[in-house]
Structure 1
């Protein structure tokens, strides 16, 4: 009974924090034209770019001739979603729907953390961590994508079918949610999750191909991308400007990228490191001998961190993904990622200093801008390495074996106890 009272008070605290912090985020969005908040650059993506794409999508086609269109076809559905609120202008409708998905994530994390043996730290991290990015999350569709990934992970214990379907839908919107299925326990549970993901992904892609022209046109834009200034490679090149490197920053493909000598080599190195990260994750899965309830959550955070750090592009909204996955990890008392979650919070706070507050410093390559990027990306790199090391150790053979019970044949539920599948 006492535990129920504590959980109820904590849930009310999370609710109060959500209401207060989201009101602040809305106020910041209303004052987006303030120079310190980016001078209108944050909201411009929705008010101009998304609206323009909406007009094309509403006529049954993807914006094939726009190099800024670099998103899988499922993104088109989200950008059309404001049609559900026809009495509101597009921008307001988009923000309302984003807040609704944010509230759904908060409710799901609160419900998951309120169960016996779990923790509301995850709900607190998401609720208190998202405002560290100021109003940016309200003006991008990454909250919606993160919601699909979070719900996919939280549904794993209850329904591997729903886990797979949600993961596939997320991947159709922004690819990375496919990584949330990486840590599904070996055996029938994993086969069901991946099987349903494949079926749902194929069916959804087929439906989009019927409803829209050129559903795979985004691949053209992705192929031309270079090294974005906020990426790890971009940080190295920006620092090299102080050592005489003759490159410069240029806006292209929807981001500020660095152009000049050796950029192609840095981009190639980034892709190579991404391949190495994938290899490491496959090796982890092959050698892992024990699964706890938190292992799928930890694996998802570790995978997305590795792919983010090694990417040619690290946009500020990527922090929304990491905050969501870190929050899922913290709903379980068995997670190995608590210190990683703290690093993610620190990186989110620094990301706000980078964009929108001091982005001109970064673009101009000043020492202040370079040091900000070095600090933010250094924390992200440390978080990625620490995350993978803790994931590897938590599933290795050198710790106490945890007993498990296999799910019944045909069952769509995972056992409530910690898993140990070799």
Structure 2
């Protein structure tokens, strides 16, 4: 039996009715996961979003999933979650304010949010779908001010806890933080001297964030008895965000050769903290589908060679950290692609992982990671494939050496240019 003839037995056709393939993949796992990560190899393609939406519908209707978490600002995600629960507002406004990185404009994301709101109509609270962002409150060139999150935590403790235990400087949050544009200065991304992250005020705020987060834990019994669950969740989310943002700004202010690697570590650590918080919150309701770049969800270390920075960045990803905590309760399905011609990614060479997968009889095709690794154990595959377009740094293909580290691989032979 040749390698190519053995491939179809490693998975299943992922047709418009994705259910059979997904269920069969889940049946190969030791246990049903609490977090199921679905990665994409590059951002900005509607096809990946449409596939994600189909997968979520099956998981909701047949596997008891009741939430989804996207690689989007965790604080902005509160806006979307309120809307899908039936809250006021227009879809246009919610997509603009509630999904970061400019991804609210994508049709697939609009369809997701609209469908979740429609699904939730008339359903009891326990059966409603929840929306989460799990990314840090950052963009490529800046990170947000911690002022808003610190204020939210302080106000929560004032309203529901023992306000007498608040630190004396909790009232000084606005004075210490100052104007938000001090923190969001894009020049600080490349010039540490422009960052406020090491200023005396930032150091005081970092200590204050630690005190407030500790108070949330210390007053947990009182808060459990007095505050609504949604308010407690919101306060814990803001506490994580404030601490993470202040760590991030401190790294931005450090003139160190490892500065960029540390920024990536800090971001993925914040992502992982949010994922673990989501898994804990949703434990009694059902599993969560997580959608993000492969490079954030993979179990192995992240590797990125930046020609612009002239250095190799290595970091533990959010998926690796979550898997270390959850074990088999974390599962990861990577998406691999053959060609994306409009992004400079041509047809793969025959000796690459994608070239071999292009011989599969159906498109798309969902493969079990360990079965695929077994089928390819005698194959002489080329090293990691790169994009033909050297200006596109966002393409992260699967490393043939780590096939078995993915519970599943969803292969799409060609990504069309049309974006309905």
Normalising to structure 1: TM-score of the pair?
0.31
Higher helix share: 1
Higher strand share: 2
Normalising to structure 2: TM-score of the pair?
0.31
